[in-house]
Structure 1
Amino acid sequence: MKEIINTYQDNLIYIFRQDQLINPTYRYLVIVKDGTDIIPVEGCHIMHYQEDFESLLKFSLPTKNRKTKQLISLKQCEQLINEITYGVLAFSVNDLPYSVALNHIVLDGHLYFHCAKSGFKLKGINSRVSYLVIRDLGINKEVGTHNHESVAIYGTLKEITDFETKKNALLKLVSSLAPKHPYQDQMVKGTTILELEIDYMIGKSHIR
């Protein structure tokens, strides 16, 4: 994985694992920005963003971004979701679209949310969901556009039941969002911790 990242750096859009592929004849499917020179990496199949990489995956993805010059790198996506700790989770229950604003944390490359032991958002557990994080850069009234950077994340929402994982997530949540609120182990029992198991993320920068 490090070799892929070092090879493609800011041209790297996403890396799919072998277990995400329909016919896993290679370890990783690597997606890079259009126009990037393809440099072979052992065990990898490398494709440009506009190529049909979706047909190689076990799951479906939304339509591609038409303005490919706006795409940001995987590294920039990760930086954004680390810096902007607030987003919108969306899923559908019995054909009812539902979205909710949530805080998140990133811990060891995993995305976690906290919530109460009840609530409609829990109906999204074990479902495919999307999560959108936006950095609002304001409206440019000279040209009539809303400048922003955003990352859309797709995957499956899971409930975390392991005590240590919940504890570690809560410790970071408390230190990041409520540092004056002392952590206690009893909080683990009274809080639901959800993880978004990430299948894919894609980001863009719209600045004019």
Structure 2
Amino acid sequence: MFRKMRRKKQLLSEEVSREILQKNTSGILSVLGDGGYPYGVPLSYVLAGDKIFFHCAKTGHKIDAIRREEKASFCVIDQDKVVSEEYTTYFRSVIAFGRVRILENEDEKRKAIRILTEKYSGDQGAEGMEKEIETHFANLCMLQFDLEHLTGKESIELVNMR
């Protein structure tokens, strides 16, 4: 169902691809937008097993698109260094494919926001995090991206450096 990468030498292992998802903080969620146009939106996220969680507003282009079509992709750029003397960039990125759903169940939503909050403000302590969650919980929408396929790629220059 998913295409195999043509440049196999540049393929990152699933382990390295997951590490990239784990350590980074933002990526582009791409969905089928209005009129059949792709819609890519930058989002903060957290990886938890085979799930990626995002928070967002309860209404808008992204939510409408997800309600219409659950299939999506999520791209994270780990490195993109311009090397002008070589007329290239040294890049490393991953693309995840899967299905997105809006978490309607309160327990699922709470669990997801706690995982996300820990990544971004875990140094604030549990009490402070819980207070912040409660303050915004009623107006919060949580999305769950179920990972079905993950591909990582890096420039041939980075491959050759190893």
- Normalising by the smaller structure, the TM-score range is 0.7 to 0.9
Which residues of 2 match residues 160-175 of structure 1 at below 5 A?
160-175=103-118
Which residues of 2 match residues 183-202 of structure 1 at below 5 A?
183-202=132-151
SS of the equivalent of 1:185 reads helix
Does 1:67 pair with 2:7?
Answer: yes
Question: Relative to 1, partners in 2 of residues 1:163 and 1:186: Cα closer, same or farther, differing over 3 Å?
Answer: farther
The CA distance in 2 between the partners of 1:99 and 1:146, in whole Å, is 22
Paired position in structure 2 for 1:151: 94
The CA distance in 2 between the partners of 1:184 and 1:135, in whole Å, is 29
Does 1:109 pair with 2:50?
Answer: yes
Q: State the aligned residue count.
A: 148
Point out the more displaced range, 83-92 or 186-195. 186-195
Paired position in structure 1 for 2:30: 90
1:124 and 1:157 in contact (8 A); partners too = no
1:107 and 1:169 in contact (8 A); partners too = no
SS of the equivalent of 1:154 reads strand
Percent identity (aligned): 24
The CA distance in 2 between the partners of 1:113 and 1:105, in whole Å, is 7
The CA distance in 2 between the partners of 1:149 and 1:201, in whole Å, is 14
The CA distance in 2 between the partners of 1:207 and 1:85, in whole Å, is 25
Question: Relative to 1, partners in 2 of residues 1:172 and 1:76: Cα closer, same or farther, differing over 3 Å?
Answer: same
Paired position in structure 2 for 1:50: none
The CA distance in 2 between the partners of 1:203 and 1:108, in whole Å, is 17
Deviation digits for residues 123-178 of structure 1 (CA, Å, limit 9, x no counterpart): 23242111101112411122111112111111111011222221122122223224
- Residue of structure 1 aligned with 2:82, choices 112, 134, 139: 139
Letter in 2 for 1:80: I
Calculate the TM-score normalised by the size of structure 1: 0.65
SS of the equivalent of 2:85 reads coil
SS of the equivalent of 1:118 reads coil
The CA distance in 2 between the partners of 1:194 and 1:106, in whole Å, is 12
Long gaps (5+) in structure 1: 1-53, 55-60
SS of the equivalent of 1:101 reads strand
Long gaps (5+) in structure 2: 158-162
RMSD value, Cα = 1.9
